[in-house]
């Protein structure tokens, strides 16, 4: 082993006392002496680690053009952060597909912003697992796509590079946080895209833009190499023009990678086969969840469009039955308790978490740590408010509400499972609201409200992990409306098959 010079600075006695005081400890002089001596040895051990090399997977498909940000004429909806070109294998299930990636998905050698100016100089040195799998399947990656800063807004306007406009009506927003992927697919700029979803961020922009968006079962698709903020909430999945393309993309990226601690189980299925052999309408039963409609935040025009679509399904022979899942109304409250404290924990652990076996992105952790210390004022207000809330609840109430919400999620999960025992899929509006109008004069307070006032139906399934898919089902005021279908956990094939049946008769 080659000796390396000292690289880890030893703390002063004052720093030792300050660190101890943050944990409500007042060290004696003897304890400070002991801590100093121990830290000297520990820092020497860390210097030994500096002399060791992390294993790094060999980079395949090395012909890569990192590209550049397109001008507005080439990107009228502001869907792209940059156009790039990384060609995959010459054949495979996605050969001939142009694929866009939300700009929190790492592509080696291509800059990644995570939707924030704080990462404008960050260039990943590794591919995310999903990127390697897309390239192996023959896809060509042609763009990094616009997103809400750090994935924390569902409106589509809180991005570092400006609002993402809706291809269906450019006077309205595309939604978020995966607004760029949805807009790029809707505009035909890419064939499929990958987005991420911690509370609806795939399904909501898919609904607003009139495309198909799938949040798979939690843990089915590895999140390794993707910037997240909630270890129990992070999902990655496809957005496409059709259920078939969602199934094809899911088939390429799903499965255990041995490095993502979210993946306790990742049983895969033949998703394309399931879609090709979708059930006849007469063999499909859809349970319409009453609590998904007529919510406090609901726009009756959105609810009416979904009800009309469900009536069309019934006319086509689908068994459409009204059901009640009262626990659904509590889902948003549980999610709020979980998401704010997970966000705070994410900040404390430099964006990569702790306490689990798996891959830890040291490059991203360093960039994240610098960003939050040097550019903390540059985060958008909605993120700051949620971060403060998470810190307050964690400190003042000792993590009680986070723990209680996670415990209560088991009851919510059981309630959905019980409902799904009698039907093939659950149904409700993806978004209770139509796409927000794009406005230049939105106040800070309004922007924070607009970021989250459409999440009531989507967030519960991030907590329970059920697969959920948004399917275009009509329009209201010339704006797309999405129908959300929910299936059994780890039976994404059945959900996709049912969605394909609905797609043919909607």
For the stretch 302-348, pLDDT in tens is 999 999 999 999 999 999 999 999 999 999 999 999 999 999 999 99
Nearest-CA neighbor of 189 among 98, 270, 261? Answer: 98
Examine the residue annotation and report whether 44 is marked as an active-site residue of this protein: no
In which element (H, E) is residue 459 found? helix 459-464
Query: Quick one: CA torsion of 150, 116, 351, 207, rounded to 10 degrees?
Result: 20
Res 7 pLDDT > 90: no
Residue in the block written with tokens 């109304």: 329
Res 29 pLDDT > 50: yes
pLDDT digit string, tens, across residues 347-390: 999 999 988 899 999 999 999 999 999 999 999 888 999 999 99
Which one of the listed residues 102, 116, 161, 499 is annotated catalytic?
Answer: 102
pLDDT digit string, tens, across residues 9-24: 999 999 999 988 988 9
Q: Is 463 helix (H, G, I), strand (E, B) or coil?
A: helix
Q: Give pLDDT, residue 381.
A: 87
Cβ neighbors of 368 (< 8 A, separation 6 or more) are 350, 351, 352
Res 88 pLDDT > 60: yes
| CA 176 – CA 155 distance, rounded (Å) | 5
Angle ∠(301,305,308) on CA atoms, nearest 5? 135
| CA 492 – CA 95 distance, rounded (Å) | 23
Res 3 pLDDT > 60: no
DSSP state of 219: T
Q: What is the CA radius of gyration of the chain?
A: 23
Nearest-CA neighbor of 96 among 40, 148, 138? Answer: 138
Cα–Cα distances (Å) from 288 to 31, 223, 282, 291, in that order, read 63, 31, 16, 9
Under the banding of pLDDT at 50, 70 and 90, the label for residue 198 is very high
Which one of the listed residues 116, 177, 431, 470 is annotated catalytic?
Answer: 177
Q: Give pLDDT, residue 257.
A: 95
pLDDT digit string, tens, across residues 405-414: 999 999 999 9
Cα–Cα distances (Å) from 438 to 82, 115, 284, 333, in that order, read 22, 19, 39, 28
The values of phi and psi at residue 398, to 5°, are 60, 35
Burial zone of 492 (CB within 10 Å; 0-12 exposed, 13-18 middle, 19+ buried) = buried
| CA 169 – CA 165 distance, rounded (Å) | 8
Q: Checking DSSP bridges between strand 140-145 and strand 98-102, what pairing results, if any?
A: parallel
Q: Is residue 202 a contact partner of residue 147, using CB atoms and an 8 Å limit?
A: no
Which one of the listed residues 106, 116, 151, 201 is annotated catalytic?
Answer: 201
Residue percentage of the chain with pLDDT more than 70: 99
Res 2 pLDDT > 50: no
Burial zone of 384 (CB within 10 Å; 0-12 exposed, 13-18 middle, 19+ buried) = middle
Under the banding of pLDDT at 50, 70 and 90, the label for residue 244 is very high
In which element (H, E) is residue 323 found? strand 319-323
Average pLDDT on 441-458 reads: 92
Q: Give pLDDT, residue 310.
A: 98
Q: Give pLDDT, residue 59.
A: 83
Examine the residue annotation and report whether 106 is marked as an active-site residue of this protein: no
pLDDT digit string, tens, across residues 151-166: 999 999 999 999 999 9
**3-class secondary structure per residue, 330-351:** HHHHHHHHHHHHHHHHHHHCCC
What number of other Cβ atoms are within 10 A of residue 502's Cβ?
A: 27
pLDDT digit string, tens, across residues 34-78: 989 988 898 888 888 888 888 777 788 999 999 999 999 999 999
Q: Is residue 247 a contact partner of residue 275, using CB atoms and an 8 Å limit?
A: yes
Round the average pLDDT of the chain to a whole number and report it: 95
pLDDT digit string, tens, across residues 274-289: 999 999 999 999 999 9
Average pLDDT on 462-482 reads: 97
pLDDT digit string, tens, across residues 475-503: 999 999 999 999 999 999 999 999 999 99
Q: Checking DSSP bridges between strand 235-240 and strand 192-197, what pairing results, if any?
A: antiparallel
DSSP per residue over 151-188, as a string?
A: G--SSS---TT-PPEETTEEEEE--SSSHHHHHHHHTT
Examine the residue annotation and report whether 102 is marked as an active-site residue of this protein: yes
The mean-pLDDT minimum among 137-151, 378-392, 414-428, 460-474 falls in 378-392
Q: Is residue 469 a contact partner of residue 496, using CB atoms and an 8 Å limit?
A: yes
Q: Give pLDDT, residue 5.
A: 58
Q: Give pLDDT, residue 1.
A: 41
Residue in the block written with tokens 């985060």: 379
Res 441 pLDDT > 60: yes
């Amino acid at each position: 082993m080659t000796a390396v010079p000292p690289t880890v600075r030893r703390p002063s006695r004052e720093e030792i006392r300050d660190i101890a005081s943050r944990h409500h400890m007042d060290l004696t002089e003897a304890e400070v002496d002991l801590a100093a001596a121990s830290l000297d040895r520990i820092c020497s051990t860390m210097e030994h680690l500096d002399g060791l090399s992390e294993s790094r997977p060999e980079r395949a498909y090395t012909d890569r053009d990192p590209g550049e940000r397109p001008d507005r004429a080439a990107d009228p909806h502001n869907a792209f952060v940059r156009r790039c070109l990384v060609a995959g294998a010459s054949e495979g299930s996605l050969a001939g597909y142009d694929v866009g990636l939300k700009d929190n998905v790492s592509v080696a050698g291509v800059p990644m912003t995570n939707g924030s100016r704080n990462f404008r100089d960050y260039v990943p040195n590794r591919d995310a697992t999903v990127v390697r799998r897309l390239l192996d399947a023959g896809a060509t990656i042609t763009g990094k796509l616009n997103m809400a800063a750090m994935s924390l807004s569902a409106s589509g306007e809180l991005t570092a590079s400006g609002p993402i406009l809706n291809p269906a009506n450019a006077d309205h927003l595309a939604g978020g946080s995966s607004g760029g992927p949805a807009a790029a697919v809707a505009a035909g700029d890419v064939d499929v895209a990958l987005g991420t979803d911690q509370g609806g961020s795939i399904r909501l922009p898919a609904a607003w833009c009139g495309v198909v968006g799938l949040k798979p079962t939690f843990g089915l698709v590895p999140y390794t190499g993707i910037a997240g903020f909630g270890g129990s909430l992070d999902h990655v999945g496809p957005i496409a023009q059709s259920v078939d393309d969602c199934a094809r993309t899911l088939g390429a990226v799903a499965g255990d990678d041995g490095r993502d601690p979210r993946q306790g189980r990742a049983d895969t299925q033949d998703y394309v086969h399931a879609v090709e052999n979708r059930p006849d309408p007469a063999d499909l039963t859809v349970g319409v969840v009453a609590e998904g409609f007529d919510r406090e935040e609901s726009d009756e025009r959105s609810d009416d469009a979904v009800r009309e679509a469900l009536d069309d399904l019934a006319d086509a022979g689908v068994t459409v039955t009204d059901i009640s899942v009262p626990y659904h109304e509590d889902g948003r409250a549980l999610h709020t308790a979980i998401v704010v404290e997970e966000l705070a924990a994410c900040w404390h652990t430099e964006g990569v978490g702790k306490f689990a076996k798996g891959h830890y992105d040291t490059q991203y952790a360093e960039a994240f740590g610098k960003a939050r210390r040097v550019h903390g004022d540059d985060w958008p207000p909605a993120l700051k408010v949620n971060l403060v809330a998470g810190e307050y609840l964690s400190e003042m109430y000792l993590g009680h509400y986070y723990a209680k919400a996670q415990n209560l999620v088991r009851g919510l999960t059981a309630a959905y499972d019980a409902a799904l025992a009698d039907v093939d899929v659950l149904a409700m509006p993806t978004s209770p609201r139509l796409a927000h109008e794009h406005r230049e004069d939105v106040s800070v307070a309004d922007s924070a409200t607009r970021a989250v006032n459409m999440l009531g139906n989507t967030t519960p399934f991030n907590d329970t992990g059920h697969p959920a898919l948004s399917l275009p089902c009509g329009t209201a005021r010339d704006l797309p409306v999405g129908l959300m279908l929910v299936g059994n956990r780890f039976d994404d094939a059945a959900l996709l098959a049912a969605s394909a049946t609905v797609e043919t008769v909607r």
